Amino acid sequence: MAKQQELDYETVFNSLPAAFLVLDRQFNIVAVNDAFLEATKRTREELVGDNLFTSFPGPEESRKMLLSSLERARDQGLVDVLPAVCYAISVNGRTEERFWCCVHAPVRNKQGMITYVVKNTQDISELYLSRGLTGAPISGAGVRANGPATPGSVQVLNQSLLDTVHHLRRLVMQAPSFMCVLRGPNLVFELVNIAFSMLAGGRELIGKSLREGLPETEGQEYPAILANIYQTGEVHVGRKTRILLQDSPASEMEEHYIDFVAQPILGAHGEVTGIFIEGNDVTDHVLTEQRQSLLIRELHHRVRNTLATVQGVMNTTAKTAANVEEFQEAFSGRIAALAKTHAVMTEQIQQCVSFQQLLTQELGPYSDDQGLRIRLSGPAVDLPSQIAVPLGMAVHELTTNAVRHGALSCEEGRVEVGWGVVEKDGERALLCEWNEFAGPPVTPPARDGFGSMLLKRVLSQQIRAEVKVDFAPEGFRLRMAVPLQIGR
């Protein structure tokens, strides 16, 4: 087989009977064919390298129409048509009014980015003027229902089509759902609506590949899904797909969840040429579901713990009570203390309670007007429910013992509680000291009751608290360190 002769594209370009020129993205003239030079009576040296609107200034209104059409081809990747535009040009030093039909087509490089715009221009002045038409806007009332189309009817029809396209584009751009069009194997952004731009942090994406425009998606699930669509031509429906995005290269990653449909855009021969994506950011909905699920698990966990606590309180109280009356009094008081702690937490959105509030609700009734009998000092410390419930029970037992046997059993006795937050084994911990003064002489208990069991065993097992007690004759002392982070 004879070797195929290499095609001389420049010769082909100059042999075309229609007038063509090639513009760069700033609409500077890069190339012009012979037919265009003949139509405009210019030379190649005059035009190449010059800006289109410098070489052909034209009337202001016509220049605006021409510029808008070129920008649509460059920025939106559309083949844009001006069926008839009045544009005067200078011929041999004399300005002549001409009518032109213009077609503007984008030219993409191998990466899918628009680098040039090809302009095809046809002089239709003779046809236009032979029908008695002028450069004034043409009304649809002059279009005949039957018979051959006139330049005026073509213009009205094409203008109607352009208006429809622009209306649809406005709908797409302003749609509450995010939408975009990606072209070529490198997935270059051709169209991005406002919602998609907001999702991407307002970045400039048109003309950039997915990897260039959203580099943080590299390695995530999303690019692999799109690449598979381009290769297979299969539609993908994603539900609550997780994607991490940045508002800017220096900002932190933000977690988003999206519902979306990505479908291939097919060419004339059925090949995949791009991908259209439409969807919604459902992050708020997903986070709400997650919070609801967490609250339900927390409720189940708390109910189980509460029932176990009640059962433990009942069993231990029964073992230490001398009779039914003593059991009823002690058990009722401990359940009431447990209920108080739960009531306080229920009122807080974060399901926390301050340590000072636990102390106040138990010791407050025994305070005097001068604030000398009960002294509380320490910073604000919020306790999660896992810590607050057993600590609330412990404070209740300490208060009950102080009222029955300790400093609060006599008029001149007083209780001082001080606390702070310290670093212990690499984590934050609540350090609390309970001191009783001016009470009756203290003697160690003959046997361990509920309070001793709670302080020595329950607190250490449930919340990893370290508790030290001192039954000094001059007054009961307690020192307690409680980690503020509790693992399930």
Please report, for the domain that includes residue 220, its CATH number: 3.30.450.20
Burial of 168: CB neighbours in 10 Å, binned 0-12, 13-18, 19+? exposed
Percent of the residues in the chain that have a pLDDT greater than 70, as a whole number? 76
One domain, residues 360 and 427: yes
One domain, residues 382 and 242: no
Q: What is the pLDDT of residue 317?
A: 61
Q: What is the pLDDT of residue 1?
A: 43
- In the predicted model, what is the mean pLDDT of residues 54-75? 87
Is 255 within the bounds of a domain? yes
Tens of pLDDT, residue by residue over 92-141, are 767 777 788 888 989 988 777 899 999 988 887 776 565 554 444 333 32
Is 208 within the bounds of a domain? yes
Q: What is the pLDDT of residue 434?
A: 92
Q: What is the pLDDT of residue 222?
A: 85
Task: Give the three-class secondary structure for 210.
Answer: helix
Q: What is the pLDDT of residue 451?
A: 61
Q: Are 255 and 230 in contact (CB under 8 A)?
A: no
One domain, residues 453 and 341: yes
Q: How far apart are CA 185 and CA 267, in angstroms?
A: 13
Q: What is the pLDDT of residue 28?
A: 95
One domain, residues 347 and 477: yes
The parent domain of residue 273 ranges over 178-281
One domain, residues 471 and 328: yes
Instruction: Give the closest residue to 280 by CA, choosing from 372, 195, 206, 187.
Output: 195
Q: What is the pLDDT of residue 130?
A: 57
Q: Are 245 and 278 in contact (CB under 8 A)?
A: no
| Residue 192 phi, psi dihedral angles, 5° rounding | -140, 120
Tens of pLDDT, residue by residue over 263-315, are 999 887 888 999 999 999 998 888 888 777 766 776 665 566 566 556 655 66
Q: How far apart are CA 470 and CA 64, in angstroms?
A: 92
SS3 sequence of 238-288:
EEEEEEEECCCCCCCCEEEEEEEEEEEEECCCCCEEEEEEEEEECHHHHHH
Residue 60's pLDDT band (cuts 50, 70, 90): confident
Q: What is the pLDDT of residue 448?
A: 66
Q: Which residue has the higher pLDDT, 5 or 293?
A: 293
Q: Are 188 and 112 in contact (CB under 8 A)?
A: yes
Q: What is the pLDDT of residue 488?
A: 43
Q: Which residue has the higher pLDDT, 378 or 143?
A: 378
Q: What is the pLDDT of residue 143?
A: 32
Q: Both ends of the chain: CA-CA distance in Å?
A: 79
| CATH code for position 320 | 3.30.565.10
| Residue 106 phi, psi dihedral angles, 5° rounding | -75, 150
Q: Give me the residue label for tokens 């649509």.
A: 72
| Residue 229 phi, psi dihedral angles, 5° rounding | -65, -45
Q: Which of 132-146, 209-223, 351-365, 377-391 has the lowest mean pLDDT?
A: 132-146
Which residues lie closer than 8 Å to 88 by C-beta, 6 or more apart?
58, 59, 62, 95, 96, 97, 98
* One-letter amino acid for residue 249 of the chain: P
Helices (H) and strands (E) in the chain, counts: 16, 19
Average pLDDT, whole number, for the chain? Answer: 79
Q: How far apart are CA 67 and CA 186, in angstroms?
A: 29
Q: Which residue has the higher pLDDT, 123 or 1?
A: 123
Angle between helices 355-363 and 385-404 (to 10 degrees): 30
Choose the most confident range, by mean pLDDT, from 293-302, 316-325, 359-368, 413-422.
413-422
- In the chain, the number of structural domains is 3
Q: Are 127 and 150 in contact (CB under 8 A)?
A: no
Residue 418: pLDDT over 90? yes
One domain, residues 252 and 322: no
One domain, residues 438 and 321: yes
Instruction: Give the closest residue to 194 by CA, choosing from 211, 209, 180.
Output: 180
DSSP string, 302-332: HHHHHHHHHHHHHHHHHHH-SSHHHHHHHHH
Is 297 within the bounds of a domain? no
Q: What is the pLDDT of residue 137?
A: 37
Q: How far apart are CA 390 and CA 93, in angstroms?
A: 99
Is 228 within the bounds of a domain? yes
